[in-house]
């Protein structure tokens, strides 16, 4: 049982924020836009403030987290900030031995293999992440009418790092555990659901306006296995947020999830993130009329000529009209080496767009 968290008062101007209107399926006057990985390696101002500070340490310094989170909001005029952190931060906070290696990603000291390994993944308690709440408070004070999106990794994607020991192409060990010891798998996912749920609740209590649950690698599974082995744990994370504050929209995203889109919505999302492989109007058919969508420009298009980029942005905005609410985003994160001026061009193109009259 988690202790009661009291929810911070939010800026009343947030009621009219386009991001939150779209998430609530009230069509805002302009389509809101933000980008996964909008902070980070594509920004020179990010590389400058990160110099000499290891990634995981930078996530635990509230002043630095605040500065890095605000950088893309200042530069691009996006409709939301995404909290600067990483999906493995709460695992580190409970004591799992891990690091984020530059150019690689998360690396786990002792990969998860047997039931005995569960003992090395204790529950997360709010007192372990006071700095996260502090960062959110600093940020919401600076952001005013611009929403802050909190986030966490979903149980499947977190489990994939723990079991593989780091980034993996095929998730073979993860699937082997899932198919060979379903009970241990369920217990691992339940533990990770507690950790992700508490990580999100601390952010919501401190004042974030929306949350995104990243299940980046769950597209590796067929639908039947997603329903049997993953959806219950993801649903428990999303319901932990809803119980604390039903007014905070829940966005849920994964890569290569074309076959899973309906089920990802049914895990308890208000907004389903769509990668670039499924056109948005087709995604709406798969998800149904009760949820908004977010997406879905291929991040590689940021390297294309401006006329090509503009055409694709307009096509996505047109396709997004099929949805009861559309938040413009990429189909996955901004890639390192992306020209920040191309990102700014997309923001301006989205904001300038007017739907053709019927
Ligand atoms: O030193 C560095 O700058 C390392 C690069 C980096 C950054 C900037 C990592 C390592 N994490 C982050 C920040 C981060 N991670 C953010 C906030 C920034 C923003 O969005 O503006 C977020 C939302 C994440 C979430 C995250 N971490 C995900 C889910 C999103 C996604 O891209 O699918 C995942 C899978 C991770 C793991 C991770 N952390 C870092 C890397 C390079 C990776 C991916 C490794 C892999 O390919 O498996």
303-324 pLDDT per residue, tens: 999 999 999 999 999 999 999 9
pLDDT given for residue 358 in this prediction: 59
The CATH class for the domain spanning 12-352 reads alpha beta
pLDDT of residue 3: 57
- Ligand 1 centroid to Cα of residue 25, in Å, is 29
* 1 has a pLDDT exceeding 50: no
User: Where would I find the H helices in the chain?
Assistant: 18-23, 44-50, 55-58, 62-76, 89-93, 130-143, 155-164, 172-180, 182-206, 223-229, 231-244, 261-266, 280-287, 306-320, 340-352
**What was the pLDDT predicted at 6?**
87
User: Does 41 sit in the ligand 1 pocket, CB within 6 Å?
Assistant: yes
Residue 20 confidence (pLDDT): 98
For ligand 1, mutation pick of 33, 37, 54 (most atoms within 8 Å of CB) = 37
pTM: 0.97
**Residue 264: pLDDT above 60?**
yes
Nearest to 12 by CA among 137, 136, 140, 133: 140
Helix (H, G, I), strand (E, B) or coil at 283: helix
Q: Identify the band that residue 2 occupies on the pLDDT scale cut at 50, 70 and 90.
A: low
Judged by DSSP in three states, 89 sits in helix
ipTM value: 0.92
| Residues of each annotated binding site for substrate | 37-41, 86, 161, 216, 332
- Give DSSP secondary structure letters for 235-260: HHHHHHHHHH-TTS-EEEE-SS-GGG
Q: Could you tell me if 156 and 239 are in contact, meaning their C-beta atoms sit under 8 angstroms apart?
A: no
Among the listed residues 11, 86, 99, 245, the single catalytic one is 86
Average pLDDT over residues 166-172: 96
Average pLDDT, the chain: 97
Mean pLDDT over 212-240 rounds to 98
Ligand 1 centroid to 86 CA: how many Å? 6
Alpha carbon distance 34, 81 (integer Å): 7
> Tell me, what's the pLDDT at 5?
86
Judge whether residue 160 has pLDDT over 70: yes
Q: Please, are residues 148 and 209 in contact by the beta-carbon 8 Å criterion?
A: yes
Is the pLDDT confidence value at 251 over 60? Answer: yes
């Amino acid at each position: 049982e988690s202790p009661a968290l009291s929810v911070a008062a939010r800026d009343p101007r947030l009621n009219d924020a386009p991001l939150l209107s779209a998430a609530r399926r009230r069509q805002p006057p302009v389509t809101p836009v933000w980008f996964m990985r909008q902070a980070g390696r594509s920004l020179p101002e990010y590389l400058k403030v990160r110099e000499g500070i290891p990634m995981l340490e930078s996530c635990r310094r509230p002043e630095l987290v605040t500065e890095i989170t605000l950088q893309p909001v200042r530069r691009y005029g996006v409709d939301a900030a995404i909290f600067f952190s990483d999906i493995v931060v709460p695992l580190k906070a409970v004591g799992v031995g891990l690091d984020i290696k530059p150019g690689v990603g998360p690396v786990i000291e002792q990969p998860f293999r047997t039931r005995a390994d569960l003992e090395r993944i204790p529950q997360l308690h709010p007192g372990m992440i006071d700095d996260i709440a502090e960062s959110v408070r600093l940020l919401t004070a600076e952001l005013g009418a611009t929403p802050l999106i909190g986030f966490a990794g979903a149980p499947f994607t977190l489990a994939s790092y723990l079991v593989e020991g780091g980034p993996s192409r095929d998730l073979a060990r993860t699937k082997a555990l899932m198919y060979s010891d379903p009970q241990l798998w369920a217990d691992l996912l339940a533990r990770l659901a507690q950790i992700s749920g508490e990580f999100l609740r601390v952010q919501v209590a401190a004042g974030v306006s929306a949350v995104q649950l990243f299940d980046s690698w769950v597209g590796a599974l067929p639908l039947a296995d997603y329903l049997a082995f993953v959806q219950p744990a993801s649903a428990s994370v999303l319901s932990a947020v809803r119980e604390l504050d039903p007014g905070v929209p829940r966005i849920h995203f994964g890569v290569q999830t074309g076959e899973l889109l309906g089920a990802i919505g049914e895990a308890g999302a208000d907004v389903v993130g769509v990668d670039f492989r499924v056109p948005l109007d087709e995604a709406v058919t798969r998800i149904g009329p009760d949820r908004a969508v977010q997406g879905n420009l291929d991040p590689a298009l940021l390297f294309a000529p401006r006329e090509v980029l503009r055409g694709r942005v307009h096509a996505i905005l047109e396709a997004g009209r099929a949805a009861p609410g559309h938040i413009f985003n990429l189909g996955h994160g901004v890639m390192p080496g992306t020209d920040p001026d191309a990102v700014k061009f997309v923001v301006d193109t989205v904001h300038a767009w007017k739907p053709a009259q019927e």
